[in-house]
Amino acid sequence: MIRVLTSYREPTATTNPYVVQLNRALIAEPGLTVANFSFREALLGAYDVFHVHWPETLFNARSAGRRFLKQLLVLLLLVRLRLTRVPVVWTAHNLANHESLDPFGAWLVRRLRSRVRLYIRINAYDGEGVPEPSVVILHGHYRDWFAQYPQAATVPGRIVFFGLVRPYKGVEDLIAAFAGVHADGVTLQVSGRPLNAETAAELVRLAAPDGRVGLDLRFLEESELVALVSSAELVVLPYREMYNSGSLLAALSLGKPVLVPRGPVNELVAAEVGEAWVMTYPGSITAAAIETALGAARALPGSERPNLDLREWELTGKLHASAYRRAINGL
């Protein structure tokens, strides 16, 4: 029996659905037991492998003093991992942090990375910057998760962006490009909480001249997200950087075609799920790319769905168990 300590705490009602579904899959997998993170468990508990997701969350805190205290505890954890030779498995959700870390935090993350025995990649991209040694375990789908919420009828002409609004996601580029879309009855709905007040103000300024653009700048509850995305004819995610995207998979799980920037990761997803479902554009988002994708989305048969067979959570649990055994055995 392998006992896994996760870097995420016990899931709650507001926990990332990826984490909730992964936790369930690990618990259901024979041969695994799961301990969710606490500093008491990490420093005093018994476990065979430490599985890291988003390492900066180990010491995130609102106050500088509390953050520093957590960082000292992470330092003790690093000492414990070295002395006990517990292997670290690290899920590479991104190739680099989107948020900056203070010098001590950045040093802790580097030291933790030096303890990694095996990386898990949640897409099949194997190009420059991919950490090794690694295995591929694709990000599981959200079909079962979203099934608990009612879906809305598709609104003709509705284009949707959703998710937390960060600079790298290119929402400002999308609003600017949409101004050049002149097809009848087309609207753009941008929904999600901005990074800060300045970002929100900029979105309001950009959208103000165009009455077809709707803004809902707040965190969406799960039921609201499902209703919004299911109402779309097309989802557009104009990220300036795109390695893994939960929003892309959420849209596909709800059976919605998505327009994303062209790149190796998105091309792999398109080949996997069907190129009619993941449409790409070169360079920056343009009005022409939006109009072309909307036309292609309307041509999709209503009975079809993207192929997500490789993203079933039961398979995900089995592959994680295999990865843990590999890390423990030093293979």
Range of lowest pLDDT (88-102, 136-150, 272-286): 88-102
State whether 276 and 153 are in the same domain: yes
State whether 163 and 278 are in the same domain: yes
Task: Inform me whether the pLDDT recorded for 174 exceeds 60.
Answer: yes
State whether 253 and 105 are in the same domain: no
State whether 18 and 121 are in the same domain: yes
Tell me what pLDDT residue 314 has.
97
Tell me what pLDDT residue 322 has.
98
State whether 33 and 159 are in the same domain: no
**Mean local confidence (pLDDT), 62-90:** 97
State whether 27 and 170 are in the same domain: no
Q: How many domains does the chain have?
A: 2
State whether 118 and 196 are in the same domain: no
Cis peptide before 261 (omega within 30 of 0): no
Tell me what pLDDT residue 241 has.
81
Distance between CA atoms of residues 86 and 73, nearest Å: 17
Tell me what pLDDT residue 37 has.
98
Nearest one of 159, 207, 162, 182 to 287, comparing CA atoms: 182
Distance between CA atoms of residues 119 and 95, nearest Å: 12
How does residue 292 score in pLDDT terms, banded at 50, 70 and 90? very high
State whether 115 and 193 are in the same domain: no
Tell me what pLDDT residue 198 has.
95
Sheet of strand 258-261: strand arrangement: 213-216, 187-191, 158-162, 234-236, 258-261, 278-281
Task: Inform me whether the pLDDT recorded for 147 exceeds 90.
Answer: yes
State whether 151 and 95 are in the same domain: no
Calculate the average pLDDT of the chain: 95
Task: Inform me whether the pLDDT recorded for 325 exceeds 60.
Answer: yes
How does residue 327 score in pLDDT terms, banded at 50, 70 and 90? very high
Helix (H) / strand (E) containing 19: helix 17-28
**Mean local confidence (pLDDT), 27-34:** 97
What does the DSSP 8-state code read for residue 169?
G
Tell me what pLDDT residue 97 has.
63
Task: Inform me whether the pLDDT recorded for 326 exceeds 80.
Answer: yes
Task: Inform me whether the pLDDT recorded for 303 exceeds 80.
Answer: no
CATH number of the domain encompassing residue 319: 3.40.50.2000
State whether 62 and 129 are in the same domain: yes
Domain that holds residue 67: 2-140+312-329
Q: Look at the alpha carbons of 321, 327, 330, 331 in this order and tell me if their dihedral is positive or negative.
A: positive
Cβ–Cβ contacts within 10 Å for residue 270, how many?
19
Tell me what pLDDT residue 238 has.
97
State whether 92 and 26 are in the same domain: yes
> Using one digit for the tens of pLDDT, what is the confidence trace for 203-259?
999 999 999 999 999 999 999 999 999 999 999 999 988 888 889 999 999 999 999
How does residue 99 score in pLDDT terms, banded at 50, 70 and 90? low
Task: Inform me whether the pLDDT recorded for 100 exceeds 80.
Answer: no
The residue ranking higher by pLDDT, 128 or 173, is 173
Distance between CA atoms of residues 118 and 133, nearest Å: 6
Task: Inform me whether the pLDDT recorded for 331 exceeds 70.
Answer: no
Cβ–Cβ contacts within 10 Å for residue 230, how many?
20
Q: CB-based contacts of 156: which residues, under 8 Å, 6+ apart?
A: 185, 233
